[in-house]
Amino acid sequence: MIEKKELITNFIRDELTDVPNILNNELSKNNKKFNSRDELEEIKGYLNAFLSEDTSNKVIVLPGLRGIGKTTLILQAYEYLLKEKNIPPNNILYISFDDLNDLVECNIRQIVEIYIKTVFHTNLRNLNEKVFIFIDESQIDKKWALSGKVIYDKSYNIFMIFTGSSALYLEHSDDLARRMCKKSLTPLSYTQHLKLKYNINAKNLSKDLNELIFTGDITKSASSEVMTNNLLTNCIDYSSTDWDEYFKFGGFPIFFDKNSHREIRENLVEITQRVITKDMPQIKDISSENQSNAKRILRYLALQQPGELTQANLANYLKTSTANVNKILDLLEKTHLIFHCEPYGGSAKRIKKSWKYYFATASIRHALSSKVGNPLLGTEDYEGMLLENLIASNLFNLSNKQFTDFTIYYDGDKKRNVDFLIQKNTENIIPIEVGRGTKKKSQIKYAINKYDCEYGIVVANNYSSIKKDEDIIYIPPKTFSFL
């Protein structure tokens, strides 16, 4: 019988030989190179700094949902080292831990130590060459972070990237917390979608929308909106139905080449199932009963009208305790399948009132709704629910970006509430109302007066372009999705 060490050694040798040869197939289609996520430029910056003897960021962690392009991203980083920085193939190791774990049970530290011994004939402490190690699906090794810490502490010459199919354990490990640079990869905004699918650069509109939201000045964003729409009109490959497709089926570059809506919906549902059955148990012991409960919670949320989620009602629906419901909701949030908004007000109010939950993308909500047969499908109310989720996702992802510091609340006013209230530190509240069809001014006006706001924002298809009417800014849904 082949020994464990020999199996690992053979696997490493095969990867060192095979990966450089499969890059073209993995990173292109029909001889056309895939475009890259913005995060690639950041990773290149870390790689260049490391090559210049700056070891302050030599462990990069990339958590994110399945299907959003993590593997493509690190293979593009691999190609950059190989072809632009002329790093020898033996000095770059890419491993899908999922594949290796199917072959032999091991941990990341064992792999790295065997690799260094086999290829460089030394150990971690005495390694004197620059080495790059990319571990895909690293969460399968429950002690991946401890391995990363040991490798980090023993060698200045190893640069590592860990990816994981969800945020779970990747986000909640103390072993690497002070050493790692974490970049959570989110589903694509429409700006990112256009870059990856059509190589259209709409970054100016994204930046100017950010400024609009927090200053109320529409000058730059209105101009960028016109320029971006001209870019889309002049792009031969761009379809007039592209945004509608993105709205209900987008966010995941893995589906760019799929034309069947049914297939995309099935694949999105499968992603949620795999997160529950494969990813969640790798971070916390979860019974098969609670895996079933997690699936039922997602279905419940997909069918629910926008509003507060009462844990007691949900517990009654599942025939379990509210404590168990809260535990499952917390786990689902850590996977980045869902996120929550708390009510605006003091800490006592936020503790007393329930939270509102949204899906990571409107497309996940649409897939689950379609699967279980939401009776509102095809109605304006349903489109409004999806749009509210899209806007919530855009705001949530923006709030988690570096150098962006604001909080998203929901408006707890029972009579005339708007959908969101956002606030930077202690600055003025900015109310945001979302909907399909004609939106009346009354709700946003009420919120502006109640919270003493300088202006409010309405995201609705009243207008085809950004407009400002006194203290109300109107933004078309498509434009807002560039944020």
Least confident of 157-171, 198-212, 280-294, 424-438: 157-171
Look at residue 288 and tell me whether its pLDDT is greater than 80. yes
Rounded Cα–Cα distance for residues 155 and 269 (Å): 42
Q: Alpha helices of 275-413 — where are they, by DSSP H? A: 280-283, 288-303, 311-318, 322-334, 347-352, 362-372, 380-399
Look at residue 294 and tell me whether its pLDDT is greater than 80. yes
Least confident of 171-175, 253-257, 320-324, 365-369: 171-175
CA-wise closest residue to 15 among 129, 122, 134, 127: 134
Give the amino acid at 70: K
Give the amino acid at 266: E
Look at residue 1 and tell me whether its pLDDT is greater than 50. no
Look at residue 475 and tell me whether its pLDDT is greater than 70. yes
Q: What is the pLDDT of residue 438?
A: 63
Tell me the per-residue pLDDT of 231-249, one tens digit each, with 9 for 90 and over: 999 999 999 999 999 999 9
Least confident of 174-183, 387-396, 405-414: 174-183
Buried b / exposed e along 284-317 (16+ C-beta atoms within 10 A): eebeeebbebbbebbbbbbbbebebbebeebbee
Q: Which CATH number fits domain 4-185: 3.20.20.80, 3.40.50.300, 3.40.50.2300, 3.30.43.10?
A: 3.40.50.300
Look at residue 307 and tell me whether its pLDDT is greater than 70. no
As a whole number, mean pLDDT of residues 50-69 equals 91
As a whole number, mean pLDDT of residues 457-471 equals 92
Look at residue 465 and tell me whether its pLDDT is greater than 70. yes
Under the banding of pLDDT at 50, 70 and 90, the label for residue 348 is low
Tell me the per-residue pLDDT of 117-173, one tens digit each, with 9 for 90 and over: 999 999 999 999 999 999 998 888 888 888 888 999 999 999 999 998 765 555 556
Q: How does the average pLDDT of the chain come out, rounded?
A: 89
Under the banding of pLDDT at 50, 70 and 90, the label for residue 29 is confident
Q: What is the pLDDT of residue 313?
A: 82
Grouping H, G, I as helix, E, B as strand and the rest as coil, residue 395 is helix
Q: What is the pLDDT of residue 72?
A: 95
Least confident of 75-89, 170-184, 432-446: 170-184
Structure tokens at 300: 């419940």
Rounded Cα–Cα distance for residues 50 and 34 (Å): 26
CATH 3.40.50.300 spans which residues of the chain?
4-185
Tell me the per-residue pLDDT of 356-399, one tens digit each, with 9 for 90 and over: 999 999 999 999 999 887 777 778 888 989 999 999 999 999 98
Grouping H, G, I as helix, E, B as strand and the rest as coil, residue 378 is coil
Least confident of 99-103, 225-229, 293-297, 405-409: 99-103
Look at residue 439 and tell me whether its pLDDT is greater than 90. no
Global pTM value: 0.91
Q: What percent of the chain has pLDDT over 90?
A: 62
Measured CA to CA in angstroms, residue 123 lies from 50, 110, 149, 175 at distances of 20, 12, 16, 22
